[in-house]
Amino acid sequence: MPKAKKYTEKFKNFNLIIFGGTGDLAYRKIYPAIYQRFIDGQLTCNYNIIAITRKENHQDIFNKEMESFLSQNVKESNISKNEISLFMKNVHLIRAKEASAEGYKDLKSFLAKFKAYQNIFYFSTPSSAFGPISKALKVSRLVNSESKVVIEKPLGHNLESSISINDDIIETFSESQIYRIDHYLGKETVQNLMVLRFANNLFERAWDSEHIDSIQITVAESLGVEKRAGYYDQSGALLDMVQNHLLQLLCLVAMEPPMALKATEVRNEKLKVLRSLRPFTKDSIRTESIKGQYTRGNIEGQKVNSYLEDIEKYESKTETFVAIKTYVDNWRWKNVPFYLRTGKRMKKRYSEIVINFKQVKHNIFPSKEKMNNNKLIIRLQPEERIELIQMTKIPGPGGYRYKPIALKLDYVDSFEERFPGAYERLIIDVIRGNQTLFMSQDELVAAWTWIETITSNWKNTNTKNVLYEAGSWGPGDGVLMKDESWVTKTWKKK
Ligand code: BG6
């Protein structure tokens, strides 16, 4: 076991109450994240983790399941039976059959016994339950001004439903108490985007339409829909990935420097970007968006099913791939295309942001070789790496010959420490009361407003999915994934 660190920051005591406490998200993400912070020695205050379940509560079965999930989801070297049993001393299972004052009786008496500075309610349930749970908490008088609520996407399926979910929650919790998780914001490499941009004068000087030709944001997954067919078929790639993760990445790349690292400042800058996104029209949807669905194929030598087989349906219009070309209509980004693309069952898992700089203004070299433009490649996963592609002279006589060479910074080589997972960082920030890495309701409304220009125009133009083979790079032999000259020139003509 690694030695616990010495943390000087002392948290205020808390009770973390997880609704959906025996669900998949809780077992796979929430408990492993808290356990990891416990192992690292960061939970120095008094606290309780309370798992709320609607089923019969059997603490023994729960403990066993927890042990098995922790072993699967935490690094092997950080797992020990002894530490798990110490951790479990603070984890309690409580039954609440329904969302009502009567249903929350046991929770209420627990919280009366274990008074803490703050009660943090984590809704790890379908969003349809957010309203009823909030209401029942209010009626049970379990919420005060120090309480917080953590919610997860999908926050609705369109603008209207998302506003209605918020309206329900806001009856009980104020905006400053609501923590909307987008786990991409908790990733170390995503946070590093802020440091890369705002702690390096070099890049910021060239971060605009004068110097940048285009920006690509790609999140490719080799996974399919796993056990979430029901949810995914209602959402599709656009709502599952673009509406939140890809737009948040775009915001961090495109926003103006915030005045300070405070939540309001950062969120306001992101909001301006979201509000500047060019809405889609009936015309632009045809030339600047593509959606696709995977058919059977092969991934790393393994045969995999088609999407329809995965969801066990004969028919579905849901897209598992989307590629979009969009613009941020403001002073800094005038006419710079942003390419957003994401897909399931791609050849490999990788997420990256590529900043394509413009060519030099005038080429003084007589060489016939192509002069490539500079590229800054920010690889977010699976490896965390930054590469700067720059032209370099090929040594030796024979005039100036050159070729593109990458200057590489491998995160893992530069830092010995383990990178904390996204949920670790985010949960700790909730305990601290720091909302910087969480979305505001205004951001959500702006994101949905723009997304609806896509969904409504897809509907109006009856845009259909293009099929692509699982294990490929998506529609059109993957041209959308590798070529920034992209849709209009290459793909749409096929
Ligand atoms: C989730 C989506 O929000 O993000 C999933 O619902 C997707 O469909 C996942 O697989 C990707 O997250 P990560 O951290 O694995 O890139």
Q: What separation in Å is there between the alpha carbon of 25 and the centre of ligand 1?
A: 12
Which protein residue has the closest C-alpha to ligand 1 atom 9? Answer: 241
Question: Ligand 1 pocket, 319 CB below 6 A?
Answer: no
* Distance from Cα 151 to the centre of ligand 1, integer Å: 16
pLDDT at 7: 83
Residues 238 and 324: their CA atoms lie apart, in Å, by 10
Is the predicted pLDDT of residue 200 greater than 60, yes or no? Answer: yes
Establish whether residue 352 lines the binding site of ligand 1, counting it when its CB lies within 6 angstroms of any ligand atom: no
pLDDT class of 426 with cuts at 50, 70, 90: very high
Task: Please report the pLDDT score of residue 485 as a whole number.
Answer: 45
Task: Kindly state the percentage of the chain with pLDDT values over 90.
Answer: 79
Helices and strands per DSSP (H, E), number in the chain: 19, 17
Task: Give me the sheet containing 91-95, strands edge to edge.
Answer: 91-95, 47-53, 14-19, 118-123, 148-152, 178-181
Q: What's the CA-to-centroid distance between 58 and ligand 1, angstroms? A: 31
Residue type, 354: V
What CA–CA distance (Å, rounded) separates 23 from 30?
A: 10
pLDDT for the residue numbered 478: 62
What is the distance between the alpha carbons of residues 311 and 230, in angstroms, rounded to a whole number? 7
Query: Averaged over 462-488, what is the pLDDT?
Result: 75
pLDDT in tens, 477-493: 666 665 544 443 344 43
HSE value, Cβ hemisphere, 13 Å, CA-based, for 225:
26
Q: What residues are paired with 323 via a beta bridge?
A: 290, 341
Comparing CA positions, the residue from 435, 432, 434, 433 lying closest to residue 45 is 432
- CA–centroid distance, 224 to ligand 1, in Å, is 11
For residue 402, what pLDDT is reported? 87
Residue 410 has pLDDT above 90, yes or no: no
- Multiple choice CATH, 14-180, 3.40.50.300, 3.40.50.720, 3.30.70.141, 3.40.50.2300: 3.40.50.720
Give the model confidence (pLDDT) of 131-145 as tens digits.
999 999 999 999 999
pLDDT of residue 400: 86
Using the atom order of ligand 1, give the atom closest to the CA of residue 381: 16
Cβ–ligand 1 contact at 152 (below 6 Å): no
* pLDDT for res 413: 81
Quickly state the pLDDT bin for 275 (edges 50, 70, 90): very high
Quote the pLDDT of residue 429: 97
Question: Would the CB of 240 count as within 6 Å of ligand 1?
Answer: yes
**Which residues are registered as beta bridge partners of 145?**
none
What average pLDDT does range 380-385 have in this prediction? 88
pLDDT value at residue 401 = 85
Q: What is the pLDDT of residue 493?
A: 35
Task: Look at the domain 204-419+440-493 and name its fold.
Answer: Dihydrodipicolinate Reductase; domain 2 (3.30.360)
| Mean per-residue pLDDT, 461-476 | 92
- How confident is the model over 147-178, as pLDDT tens digits? 999 999 889 999 999 999 999 999 999 999 99
Is the shortest distance between the CB of 429 and ligand 1 below 6 Å?
no
Q: Average of pLDDT values for 198-220? A: 94
Separation in Å, CA 367 to CA 59, 118, 273, 393, 414: 73, 67, 41, 11, 37
The model's pTM is 0.94
336-360 residue pLDDT tens: 999 999 999 999 998 999 999 999 9
User: Could you tell me where in the chain the CATH 3.40.50.720 domains are found?
Assistant: 14-180
Question: What is the average pLDDT across 227-237?
Answer: 94
| Percent of the chain residues topping a pLDDT of 70 | 96
The answer, yes or no, to whether any atom of ligand 1 lies below 6 A from the CB of 221, is: yes
- What gap in Å lies between CA 198 and CA 92, rounded to an integer? 43
Q: Where in the chain is the domain with CATH 3.30.360.10?
A: 204-419+440-493
Give distance in angstroms: CA of 368 to centre of ligand 1. Answer: 44
* DSSP 8-class letter at 95: E
Give the integer Cα–Cα distance in Å for 280 and 263: 30
Tell how far the Cα of 344 is from the centroid of ligand 1, in angstroms: 10
Question: Which amino acid, 398?
Answer: G
C-alpha distance across the termini of the chain, in Å: 57
Pocket test for ligand 1, best of 24, 190, 245, 346 (most atoms within 8 A of CB): 245
Residue nearest to atom 15 of ligand 1 (CA): 221
pLDDT at 481 (0 to 100): 61
Block residue for tokens 């509907």: 459
For this structure, is 211 an active site residue? Answer: no
pLDDT tens digit sequence for 47-90: 999 999 998 878 899 999 999 999 999 988 889 999 999 999 99
Residue 477 pLDDT: 63
Q: Give 293's pLDDT tier (boundaries 50, 70, 90).
A: very high
Residue 478 has φ and ψ, to the nearest 5°, of 80, 10
Q: Identify the pLDDT of residue 490.
A: 40
**Whether residue 294 has pLDDT greater than 70:** yes
pLDDT at 442: 97
Q: How confident is the model at residue 9 (pLDDT cuts 50, 70, 90)?
A: confident
| Ligand 1 atom 14 nearest Cα | 184
Please say whether the beta carbons of 197 and 323 come within 8 A. no
| Averaged pLDDT of the chain | 92
Among 58, 183, 211, 245, the one annotated catalytic? 245
Q: With cut-offs at 50, 70 and 90, classify the pLDDT of residue 6.
A: confident
Q: Which long-range contacts (CB under 8 A, 24 or more apart) does 397-403 make?
A: 399/366, 399/367, 400/365, 400/366, 400/367, 401/367, 401/369, 402/365, 402/367, 402/369, 402/371, 403/369
Strands 47-53 and 178-181, sheet pairing: unpaired
- When comparing pLDDT for 482 and 301, which is higher? 301
Pair of tokens at residue 226: 């796993």
Ligand 1, pocket-test mutation among 184, 185, 383, most atoms within 8 A of CB: 184
Which pair of structure tokens corresponds to residue 393? 């002279």
